[in-house]
Structure 1
């Protein structure tokens, strides 16, 4: 199944404009002007990042897209996964961290539809992958049902 997530634009875009507005008073210095414009541009561009996660029968494909172009793609076979840890991200958000034998872990949060967490548990059961649910995660699961 295919799951999608985007960056939190309602947080990123105001932060970009606030950083620009805060730096305008110091634009008398050329280096400050260009560094603040660079920071603004980088923060603004992060608003256009999208993520996809595809859970197949025996592997997971994680892709990062920027302006519709794939900039990072990782295909993880079931044997490459050490374990998946299910945690509580904040008050009512869940997060799954896919620990991999080599490389950076994959953080799964804010993906739609919410059934991604059930499907990850089913993937673990089907492929004999270790997983761990924290106490806080179990509380969120109980609240949701």
Structure 2
């Protein structure tokens, strides 16, 4: 693959599998995202770079780019005096991802607490494990909130 930046093929391959599994991305979208992660200078890759470099059809690359853009993984930029669009990692993706995780944790904490309250109200024995789980959710929530605060200060 002829890229304007260096990648580690083994790490790239592992990242592709990880992004497929964790983010539920299709394989080509995972490949594109993993490639762009290595673009540390955020110069971007053009649509043509990806079609040629990944040996994929234009429609497949287009679909994958649209998935990544709509899910805020990447964004497109236009360089001065060029008509081509270039694609780069969304610098705010970490904050977006952490906020989504935080929202899920908060919702899960509310649901778990409501379930324990229901058990107590109806005289069911509550399990100590539920309290441990809610405590873990609370600690993770605090951790992520602190990380979000640090990220917003950068």
Output the TM-score relative to the length of structure 1: 0.24
Tell me which protein shows more helix as a share of its residues: 2
Larger Rg over CA atoms: 2
Q: Determine which structure has greater relative contact order: mean sequence separation of CA pairs < 8 Å that are 6+ residues apart, divided by chain length.
A: 1
